[in-house]
Structure 1
């Protein structure tokens, strides 16, 4: 072979070797992804205690409405999951005893851990600046019409455990922010302006925890719950049989 032909042959052999190596790396990465996905699914099913069900399909048992005093004069609040899922929320006065915070997975609760320090901080050293006016899910707790908590289980529990000092600070802040005089057994919360279906309740509850979790599994549950449909579509695309097929994804 001439020097040029030899150089071309070596170049071609190198390209073939790189291609084979890339294919092997792709297959290895795909296998690792499948293994991680299977392990995560198994862990999530265990955490949920509801093997085989995704959170958006979990049946939410909604009970009878609790008494609520909707505050029509206060502009509605709003939470946004994405460009299409936007929920208007009414401010409402409720009796504290009617609220149902939960710290076990299932229903509207998507977290697996209870942060006792957070509850204690709210109960004993309530700081209205950390809640009022925060917007989105971080503001006043969001509940269903039957008293189940969609967002703010820790906030609700802390408020139920108020010391006299914190209760005073809370009532004073409610008066300043919303011009409402609460009775000692009342709390101000937010409720969906419209009745939500099962999927909407699940998605809203899962999305409320994104960005603030007490454990890795909490984060996985919330993210997988809300993006389950998108993940299923992505699964189909990841079934590509080579790295070149992935170019069109």
Structure 2
């Protein structure tokens, strides 16, 4: 089993308004979410932390994840900014600390040992990575003393990441899927709409349920009523026919594809 339990989480990328971000975190946690994902890059750690503090939920029951900005991955910067993230979040530790992108200041041999040190110091309970290729993932495993608890990548019915899902099973870590609704492009998809109609639910819930069935931890960004609606994915049992139809959607493109991403440099 992976070293940490993870279930459907709240993604906070794009929640730029502090008040809305805080309220969304409170709503999510009090509705039943127990996994909140943020990052230095999102510039909302303080608002996320305020939401965690305000929610009527025990902090120890919540998996809190943040990520070190790729410009901060030189050793001293990683150490310093990880502590700054804790200060902004108002926490003494996070459950997951990610290398956000293996770009810019990232150097496997010097960056990754700092994440081991931060885990030893109690800054984070677990080390994680994001947007790694299979080769970079294998390299990280060889360098880190800590087990990799999670690998976060874009994953949704049109971009299903079969190779990284297989490696997650082989290496015994979670594959966490960001943009699980394809940046909103999946909401009007005809295949998902047909499955949703058969199950009396929404296309968003179907896409999230597919991820859960395929051992992917989705972290949708949502606000308002969609926050609680997305939790329905935890209770939706898709049939084999439904799953086969969604699996057949594979072959689409990424929605997030920066020029300096690792997969564009290989």
Q: After TM superposition, is the score higher than 0.5?
A: no
Bigger radius of gyration among the two = 1
With the length of structure 1 as denominator, give the TM-score of the two structures.
0.23
With the length of structure 2 as denominator, give the TM-score of the two structures.
0.22
Higher relative contact order (CA 8 A, sep 6+): 1
